[in-house]
Structure 1
Amino acid sequence: MITLRISGGVAEIVLDAPEKRNALSLEALAELDAAYREAEASGVRALLLHGEGRAFCAGRDIAGVDPATDDVPGYLGAVESLMRRMAAFPAPTFAAVHGACLGVGLGLAIATDVVYIAETAKVGSPFANLGAMLDSGGHALLYERLGAHRALDLIYTGDLLSGAEAVGAGLFSRVLPDEEVLAFTRERVARAAAGPTQSFLASKRLIGRLRDEHLWAVAAAESRGQARLRDTADYREGFAAFQQKRPPEFRGI
């Protein structure tokens, strides 16, 4: 599911479940956390995260999850712990994003220093079809970069932004043709690894202090809100519809 390669002072972490569009179960989150810990222990000077197949990460793997017994706080607690580890990684980090970047996948991007994204990537909040709410720090990103009206528009409609639209709105750093994004990101990672990484880390820590208090407070509030939604009929209907591959029938309860 998670592959780690280390070479020339660079760690490359790959989400490697293309048949699931790299959706992440609780077990996969633990594997990803372990990969970051191993990369940190190896003393790498830069890190690249990307996904295999048609997507970067389509979010949480809810196949087989029973919404009646879903441990929402446990799952989102693991997500927040992973995001904190990613954000504090002691070297410059980069993500090459293509295809779906949704839910937890969006959280992985938020926790990465620099995100380069493919033109046709899809970014946003698909939770309107699940009876759940955006999580993994997504409210903080959308509100800070898009403002309240645009953020709620995307949340209410479930509409997704293309990579080009996401960069145009200031969500991420650069947009590239789909076939170029990974090679471009690898080149930038190698450049960072060969650079003055101590000065990079000084800037990373300063920007982290400016970001962290708000981001983690929002992530904790999202976890509490998602836990409350778990007990609604619409949450159960959204999960069942997704698992049965049919349109949901929400009743607002």
Structure 2
Amino acid sequence: MTRASRTYSAGPVRAVHGITLGEVRVRPKNIEGTGTPMLWWTLTARTWSPWLPVHAFVIEHERGLLLFDTGQSPDSLTDPDYYPGGLLGWVYHRQAQFRVPAEQTLDAQLAELGFAASDITHVVLSHLHQDHAGNLAPFAAVPVYASADELALLEQKTPELHGVLSRRIPPAGVALTPVAFDADAQFDLFDDGTLVMLPTPGHTPGSMSLMVSPTDAAPLLLVGDVTYDPALLACGIVPDVGDRAAQLATARVIADLQVQHPELTVLAAHDRGALATLLAQTPQ
């Protein structure tokens, strides 16, 4: 399954589509961390995870068509200069491997839904890693939202040390709009409570999630790389990538959200069950 759609009978949110924009395999510690330093497991790992999806989500709202994350660029497989050179480039290749079949390009997946990139009116990025912000070039004419803390990585001397390919993100002509959260740690895109960005740091300093609240179904929480499997969050298991203390704090925040919204559906970018979970979403 490379895509799944859920439609709603009432309210501003009309449909949510999960799409697959490539595949990735990573080291096991990238999924189920134990606090092992990232450099150590990068150097010593000998096994890979199964191939996992790179999911993004298209949300039909009465005020526009929103894309949450943009997936892995096919250029990463053909351009010899896509990644940094030297030791840093070696680290990139040690940590993750990608493939993007022709049917999983952004244009192909949007076309299967009856859309084109030009139909997108808003883009929200969970974070700036290549498999989430890899296909930004078509979006020069629309707002592309990322948290202010995440955009601060681009001001670092070497963003690539944080997993951000600054020579490619953002591409020429694309402006990134910083998200500044309010006193309640929220950014309500349309001021109607249906699409609300939330800070969920840890994987990167500025990682954020998107709460989608349809009128006639339980809310969805799109979490990017907060976890590879939402079932692990309840066990306090987070990836060994990023700030572990911040990741565990974010896991607790999500647990609190699940108490407030018992039917909350959490959808992670690399969860092989995410699209089936979307199809099985609980009605209100």
Smaller-chain TM-score bracket: 0.3 to 0.5
TM-score by length of 1: 0.33
TM-score by length of 2: 0.30
**More strand by proportion, 1 or 2?**
2
